Structure 1
């Protein structure tokens, strides 16, 4: 029996606790293996991780169609390397989801 994502508090807490800021340099080897996935800032990184954990294909396909979730491009990787960027990251095996730091509102 599959739990409903809305009631998946334990998984959300687990994913949230496993989310960390990492320098791009620590993610490059995973990028080289094709396992790093970019998540647009308008999406919640934890929510995306939970949806992928549940294999919610319709939602994931829609996000990909809307260019909100995608494998990290060579251009993104180069710019993060040049900027010595630090990204929010969480593992949803075999992938590492990454998201740039959201701009703070003043």
Structure 2
């Protein structure tokens, strides 16, 4: 099977960048950070949000695979300062912890 990424997927991929927790704190304060678990494809989730695929997004929310970033996770990110990736799908900023590289 030869699946080509959608134009939107490619656009979102190009707009995804590393970011620090310090840079994300104003978005957290506004309640506009959406946490994406590391087992999810950040760009796939961003594409679903951008395309308003409500059933798919609701299923991920119900399963806890994505969530509005809460105070306890914010405190953890502040304490650890891990490497993060983010992409904007207004009004949300989707954020995910970068996977550790295995040696």
Give TM-score, length-normalised by structure 1: 0.88
Say which is worse superposed, 31-40 or 8-17, in terms of deviation.
Answer: 8-17
Considering only aligned residues, what root-mean-square deviation do their CA atoms show, in Å? 1.5
Say which is worse superposed, 78-87 or 29-38, in terms of deviation.
Answer: 78-87
Distance 2:16 2:62 in 1: 25
User: What secondary structure, in the 3-state scheme, does the structure 1 residue paired with 2:18 have?
Assistant: strand
Unpaired segments ≥5 residues, structure 2: none
Number of the residue aligned with 1:3:
none
Residue correspondences, number? 101
User: What secondary structure, in the 3-state scheme, does the structure 1 residue paired with 2:49 have?
Assistant: helix
Give the deviation of 1:38 after TM superposition.
0.2
Distance 1:83 1:102 in 2: 14
Instruction: Tell me whether 1:10 sits opposite 2:35 in the alignment.
Output: no
